[in-house]
Amino acid sequence: MKMVNQILLNLYAQGNFSVPVATPNDLFDPTKFAMWAKFQLMPTTTRNGSFCSIEELGILQITLFVPIGTGSAAIEAKADQIKAHFGTGKTHKVSAYQVLVNNSHKAPAMPDESKNAKWYMMPISVSYEVV
């Protein structure tokens, strides 16, 4: 899973979104940024195949955050940009791996109810296969 997480982070970095990412188990102070993202990897299947050494399927959720009171225009525009980069039915090459994005979509923005509701958030879900 660690390898797949790095592959997907590299794919995100290829988009040049200028939005820093908080990854699991890293120290991250979101108050330093006007917008930031959180990665959550939810693998569903890992299997060895006859045509490839390994295949992993799952969902990558990229949740964008902006401070409450910022408005929704910036977060909507950035979510659309991320969604377009990952695409639907699109194959990306990352190092020696292929990442097939089955679909990507954004959910409606909403206040983040954790941490004293300081953030407005918008999740983008990316259904992927890594080969």
CATH number at residue 57: 3.30.2000.20
Structural domain boundaries enclosing 65: 2-130
Overall number of domains in the chain: 1
Percent of the chain residues past pLDDT 90, beyond the cut? 52
Q: Is the pLDDT confidence value at 41 over 70?
A: yes
- Nearest alpha-carbon partner for 86 in 55, 124, 37: 124
Q: Is the pLDDT confidence value at 115 over 80?
A: no
20 or 31, higher pLDDT: 20
Q: Would you give the DSSP letter of residue 46? A: E
Q: Is the pLDDT confidence value at 47 over 70?
A: no
**Cα–Cα distance, 67 to 69 (Å, whole number):** 6
